[in-house]
Amino acid sequence: MTLFTAQGRGRPDTPGGPLARGRELPGDDRPPRLAAGIELLGEFKDSGFSQPPFLVRRADGQVIQMSRLLYLVASQVDGTRSADAIADAVSAGLGRTLSSEQADYLITGKLIPLGVVADPSTAAPPPRANNLLTLRARGTLLPERAANAVGTLLRPLFRGPVVITVIATVAAMDYWIFSADGLAAGFSQVLSNPADLLIVAGLLALSAVFHECGHATACRYGGARPGRIGIGLYLVWPSFFTNVTDSYRLGRAGRLRTDLGGLYFNLVFIVAMAAAYEASSAAVLLVVIAFSHLEMLEQLLPFVRFDGYFIVGDLIGVPDLFTRAAGLRRRSRILVTGWAAGAVGFLTLTLGYLLLHVPDINRALWHSASHQARLTAAAFRAGDYAAAAVGAIAAALAALSVAASLYIVVLLAQRAFAVGLRWSRGRPGRRALAMLAALALVTGLAAYWSMQGQFQGW
């Protein structure tokens, strides 16, 4: 989250401020107007803040959270009102007196830099949020219009009786599947038949796309417009995504429905697989059902922007859990602090484990990838193309795992290097200490890896 505080243009009561320099509204004397496509969304509903923030959406989809006063000023900017008229109208709405210079200050110092009020003096694009761990190399599977059409088409699936029926069906089916022997038979079949493994992989990919359609449909059901559904790279992993930024405009129930829509569509997919199994008795479908459950559990992780992350954020009433805790209600602050402690603990454990075992992990993955490559080549020579395809997928995934672990280590090193540089800037003593600490860490890790024999057996 990028925070903007009043800055840069000079306070109206200080030398060099608008009072001293005269009007600074958008380059000329014309009344200010909102930038094209600006949508005032109103209050962020059911928020965990002591003073509920207000939301504005730009034409490029960027949503901005702002204080009530800024929102009131923005809502009075219509291309005809002068700063005086804006100040009068805001004062009436606020119950406090805002001077025209102060209104001018907020417009020029805040709303123009954010791209909320048009600035004819520059064509530079306004700033966008720098998302943590965002997707890269994005491609579109369903553009916005198609995603909305799908959402509209599938909306009936969110009607109460349908939801209850789906959940009850899956509960009953799970009891039957996990208490019978069908699952073990399905796994045995899949492991012995590469073609079945390809079917499982294909159906799970389809399930992932359907999961994203669930988010889009839930967003549409609540009255917001989903953006595109696509595929990109999360670190190094292929990942499907849906842009549901517009769900910020919904209340807590609507946002939670959007968060849970993907998991709900996983249940719908499971019901469809069960129906197909009933018709075909293909045990491989039971494996798909089992793995769909695991995918759902994975999605409930409250970290790294899985569905669980959004669910936790919406239950607390905070649009971004990485936000500063200032301004939160006591209960929300405690919950956000608890989440942050959990996230730090989770990351420390997982990243610490990774650092301590990087050579070990990559040795196993490398052996796996090279073994699969040999199996793939042998299967291809023997004309067993299904086995060759399975081997190729497995080899690629193992190789991706190697790339992912190395990429994460490089990211960590870069981040630590940047922090060290910032901490020791202009302080030779600190700089020497930082270099010593880095040297000690690298030496310690190398010694640990060596003592553990992690460099052997490659």
Partner 1 sequence: MTTQLAVTMDELELEHAELLPSRETLCCVKHCGCGSYSSFNFTQIGGSTYQAGLLNVAALNGNNIAIL
Name which of residues 36 to 75 contact partner 1 (CB under 8 A).
Answer: 55, 61-67, 69-70
Q: Is 359 exposed, middle or buried (0-12, 13-18, 19+ CB in 10 A)?
A: buried
Tokens 């990919």, located at residue: 205
Of residues 316-345, those binding partner 1 (CB under 8 A): 319-320, 322-323
39 strand-pairing partners = 57
Interaction between residue 197 and partner 1 (CB under 8 A): yes
Site string for partner 1, 203-242 (x = CB under 8 A): -xx--x--xx--x------------------xxxxxxxxx
408 or 433: whose CB is closer to partner 1?
408
Cβ-contact 256, 224 below 8 angstroms: no
- Contact flag: residue 129 with partner 1 (CB under 8 A): yes
**Residue 379 contacts partner 1 per CB under 8 A:** no
Please select the residue that binds partner 1; options are 23, 88, 291, 377, rule is CB under 8 A: 291
Q: At what angle do helices 194-222 and 182-192 cross, to 10 degrees?
A: 120
36 SS3 class: coil
From candidates 220, 310, 359, 389, binder to partner 1 by CB under 8 A: 310
Is 184 an interacting residue with respect to partner 1 (CB under 8 A)?
Answer: yes
Q: In angstroms, give the least distance from the CB of 65 to partner 1.
A: 5
The yes or no reply on residue 196 touching partner 1 (CB under 8 A) is no
Measured distance CA(41)–CA(38) in Å, rounded: 9
* Residue 237 Cα to chain centre, angstroms: 14
Report how far residue 302's alpha carbon sits from residue 308's, in angstroms, rounded to the nearest whole number. Answer: 4
Report in angstroms how near the CB of residue 140 gets to partner 1 at its nearest. 13
Mark residues 380-399: x for contact with partner 1 by CB under 8 A, - for none.
-------------xx--xx-
Select 306 or 380, whichever has its Cβ closest to partner 1: 306
Stretch that binds partner 1, among 139-147, 166-174, 305-313, 425-433 (CB under 8 A): 305-313
Report the nearest approach of partner 1 to the CB of residue 418 (Å).
21
Of 65, 7, 14, 57, nearest to 36 (Cα)? 57
- Rule CB under 8 A: is residue 4 a binding residue for partner 1? yes
Binding partner 1 (rule: CB under 8 A), the pick from 25, 112, 177, 259 is 259
Q: Distance (Å, rounded) from C-alpha 376 to C-alpha 365?
A: 16
Task: Give the number of other Cβ atoms within 10 Å of residue 431's Cβ.
Answer: 15
236 to each of 58, 210, 435, how far by Cα in Å? 30, 22, 30
- Of 264, 320, 251, 319, residue with least CA distance to 296: 264
- Using CB under 8 A as the binding rule, the residues of this chain from 104 to 123 that contact partner 1 are 105-106, 110, 114
| Contacts to partner 1 from residues 271-290, by CB under 8 A | 290
Residue 413 interacts with partner 1 (CB under 8 A): yes or no: no
Site for partner 1 (CB under 8 A): how many residues?
A: 107
d(CA 385, CA 362): 28
Distance from C-alpha of 123 to C-alpha of 130, rounded to nearest angstrom:
21
Output the smallest distance, CB 236 to partner 1, in A.
8
For position 97 contacting partner 1 by CB under 8 A, the verdict is yes
